[in-house]
Amino acid sequence: MSSQFDQKIDGHRKRVLETRRRIVTAAIELMREENINPTAEQIAVRANIGRRTVFRHFKNMEGLIQLITLELAKPLAIVPAALKSSDWQGQMYEIMNRRLAMFELFMPFQRASEAHRHSSPTLQAVYDNYVSSMRSRLIRALPPEISDRQPLLEAIDVALSLEVWQTLRVKQNLSVADSSAVIETLLSHLLSPYPNGPCVPPDVAEG
């Protein structure tokens, strides 16, 4: 009797988890298609479930967006691979390429989460940690003659920011290649007055 009861609970739990997976997958697919704020009705249609089922699993859309954002933020917590360049300018361009690839991957979800971020302490904390982490890694890669110059450091940080990437890709409607070329031009102009040299420190990593 107990075994049958346990099997029923396990079966119900599996169905719940499978339904939640379908809801999350449907929402992610819609966001990748530039629908940055999908409705419960759109998610239900994509997941092939009823609209009420969506709200049985998530009280509101903010809860769903929060779950997706937290799941997508997990890779950012993984210790990144060490950079390959032995000089600091080479490392800066590696940092640029890694950031831009990450921005392009996460941009649809970032735009969706931004609509809810200011009303959600959890999302705000994820965003603040993300920005702080990227800035710390940038500072570690720069020589002191650059990192100690506040205006120059801020200019480099802005040039390599998600906000600039979004402006180029969305507002100015540039391709990935053209957007990358713009940012590389900005970075090269900012770094060109400074002689290249060994990286500081030699094993700095960047995601």
pLDDT by position in tens, the chain (length 207)? 555 545 555 677 888 889 988 998 898 888 777 777 788 899 999 999 998 999 888 888 777 877 776 666 665 555 567 778 888 999 899 999 988 988 887 776 666 666 665 556 666 676 677 778 888 888 988 999 999 999 999 999 999 998 899 999 989 999 999 999 999 999 999 999 988 866 554 444 444
* Peptide linkage before 201 cis (omega within 30 of 0): yes
**Quick check: helix, strand or coil at residue 87?**
strand
Query: Exposed, middle or buried: residue 204 (CB in 10 Å: 0-12, 13-18, 19+)?
Result: buried
Listed residue (31, 41, 40) closest to 63, CA to CA = 40
Name the phi and psi angles at 34, rounded to 5: 70, 15
Do 140 and 157 touch, CB atoms closer than 8 A?
A: no
Residue with tokens 């060109």: 192
